[in-house]
Amino acid sequence: MKGLEAILYHNGFAMAAVGVTIVFTALVSLSVIISQLHRVLFVWDNRKSYINKALRLFSAPKPHESEPVVKYFDNIYESARQFNLLIRATGEPFSLPELIGKAETRGIAHAHSTVSHLIAAGLIAADGRGYFRWNREAYEQLLRQEPK
């Protein structure tokens, strides 16, 4: 066999196609690497700042390790007074959905977030049976801290 017959018999065209594909893939990969080399060099030049940022990120205190900071809205004293009167009128223990519903029907603005802030401040405490109670000691302490 000679010529094209020998090439066909020994899969010459398939081998040539695979060779061209390998060379083409290598050239494309090389061109992508060269086109992105400036980014790699930029990172390499600034590696100390990246390492410092990573170290600060990993050495930062975890949220659960530090004491949570509760930021109240401006009128927590007035909200505490309103809810104190509402809870006195409805009685204890109370459920939060009922309290929020009664607060909304009486026109207390942002009842959900206000109750959330009062819970975070310790003014509303769970009784362990699915209901809540008004913490009178915390309320008295809050009133003593109120700016005049």
Answer yes or no: is 22 within a domain.
Answer: yes
The answer to whether the CB of 47 falls within 8 A of the CB of 55 is no
Q: Quote the number of domains for the chain.
A: 2
Q: Are residues 52 and 9 in the same domain?
A: yes
Segment 60-71 shows an average pLDDT of 57
Using pLDDT thresholds of 50, 70 and 90, give the confidence band for residue 111: confident
Parent domain of 8: 4-59
Across 11-25, 37-51, 65-79, 127-141, least confident range: 65-79
Answer yes or no: is 71 within a domain.
Answer: no
The answer to whether the CB of 100 falls within 8 A of the CB of 111 is yes
Q: Are residues 21 and 47 in the same domain?
A: yes
CATH classification at residue 91: 1.10.10
pTM above 0.85, yes or no: no
Using pLDDT thresholds of 50, 70 and 90, give the confidence band for residue 117: confident
Segment 114-118 shows an average pLDDT of 86
Answer yes or no: is 84 within a domain.
Answer: yes
